[in-house]
Structures are given as structure tokens and as C-alpha cells.
Amino acid sequence: MPQTEDFKIPAHQLLHPMHQNEMKKQDPIRLLVINPNTNGLTTSRLKEVLTTCLPQNVHLEFTTARFGASYIACEASHAVASHACIEAWADQIKIAQKGVDGVLIGCFGDPGLFALREMAAYPVTGLAEASFIQAAALGPFSIVTGGERWKPMLERLAMSLGFSDRLRHIETVAATGAELQANPKMAIECLKNACELAAKAEVKSIILGGAGLAGYAKQIQNMISLPVIDSATAGLEVLLSNQAPRPFQKEHGTYAQWTGMPDAIQFL
């Protein structure tokens, strides 16, 4: 069975050659990771997994949504998370002493992705989009994630991002991402079984999607006959390899005239 290193390129090797030269001469590359869930444990999970695979001269800043759902699991919580994600980003711009070079939305559903991409002057991607980019490079793919309500939401997102022709199957488990995060023993067994079902769809890889599932792909890879893509590390790698779509504008901003919005958003 293939091991992770057989199909995943280490993050430090994914950097564009030009960026490698820049990193030797300039300040560290700084990336902002936004957890659109209000659960700080999910932020800690993302931090634990992503900081262990950082190349030299790359710095991550983490922030957690101020309001919304503890763990996004439905259409309503996803909609609110988009607002919370935009506010968290705007707050960072207003109060940060140093700017960042890109944003990773730490949710496998990418709330606020299209809005932030319109507003930000640097690359923005999310766990889902980044995973789709990596998986599509290998061929047709499946998704395994927690929470039954995610299936139609992810199908719509894949269509919006242009990956519907490569997405062949979504296997959802009854346990939510939060429940899987809280019970590692149950999660490994549950996710292994789900990946085995997802592999039957004649795909080339399986995405293990969810901020709460960060790190599990590595633990179950030797149990699965196909490459298993960790959505969290995919997000980091796609940003560092310049695979995320380029920004639309050269300066942060918005086209809307706001009423009653937080100061950080009005500030834009």
C-alpha cells in the first residue's frame, strides 16, 4: 500500500523557485489561518497539525471566529460563518502590526471564500478548495467527512469551483467533525471504514475533509489502498506552492456601502 510520502510533496519542496529565493532575502512569509468555527479546540488542532510541517521562514497566525456555531454543520451555520470569517479577516488588517501574504480558511466548506477573494489583495483559499486542487491533479476523487448535511453543500461548492467533473463520491459519517475530533479511537475506525467505501467509486484519491479531522489522514493512510489527502495540510501546501487563485485587486477593499457593520469592515 502506498505511504503518504509516495504521493505528497513536502511543503518546503512545493515553494515556487522564485519564492524560495525571496525567502532567503526577505522577511518570513506570513499566512493567516482563520477558524470560522467558534470552537478554540479546532483552532488548536489546526495549529498543532500545521506547525509541524512548516518550512523554514514561514510563519502562521491563527484566529478564531468571534460569533457563530461552535462547529459548522449546516447551511445556516455556514452562512453565519461567512460573516464571521470576513470580520476576523478585517480585524486582522485593522490591528495587526505586520501584514500577511495569504489567508487559509480553516473549514472544509470554505465559508466566505468568494467574498474574501474579492476583498483581499493576496491569495485566499480554504480547506475544501485546496484539497480539490490536490486531488484533481491525481484524477477523479472522493470525499470523506463528518456530518450528513455536508453532502449537498460540498457538491454545490465543488460545482462552483469547477471540480464537479472530478468529484465522484461523498461519503459522510453520522458523527460530526466535532465528535470525531473529540474521540480519536472512534474516529480512526469510523474514517477507515468510510474511506474503504469511498475507494469503491473508482477514484484516484480520497479527501479526508474537516478542520476537526486534521491529522487523521496520516494515521489511517497505511490502512487504505489509495492516497488520503488531509484537507488542512493541503491548504497550507496549496498556498505555499502558488496554486491558489491570484487576487483580483492590488489593495484590500470592498465595493459595498455598509450600514451597521463592525468598525473593522467599515474601515475597509
pLDDT band at 125 (very low <50, low <70, confident <90, very high): very high
Dump pLDDT digits (tens) for 96-119.
Answer: 777 899 999 999 999 999 999 999
pLDDT > 80? residue 18: no
Kindly state the average pLDDT of the residues 225-251: 95
Tell me the residue ranges of DSSP E strands in 99-176. 102-105, 124-126, 141-146, 167-173
Q: State residue 26's pLDDT score.
A: 66
Q: State residue 91's pLDDT score.
A: 94
Chain-centroid distance of CA 197 in Å reads 23
Domain covering 4-267: architecture? 3-Layer(aba) Sandwich (3.40)
Q: What is the pTM of this model?
A: 0.88
Which residue carries 449537498 as its cell?
152
Burial of residue 111 (number of CB atoms within 10 Å: 0-12, 13-18, 19+): buried
253: its cell numbers:
477593499
Give 217-252 as a DSSP string: HHHHGGG-SS-EEEHHHHHHHHHHTT-SPPPS-SS-
The helix (H) or strand (E) run that includes residue 51 is: helix 40-51
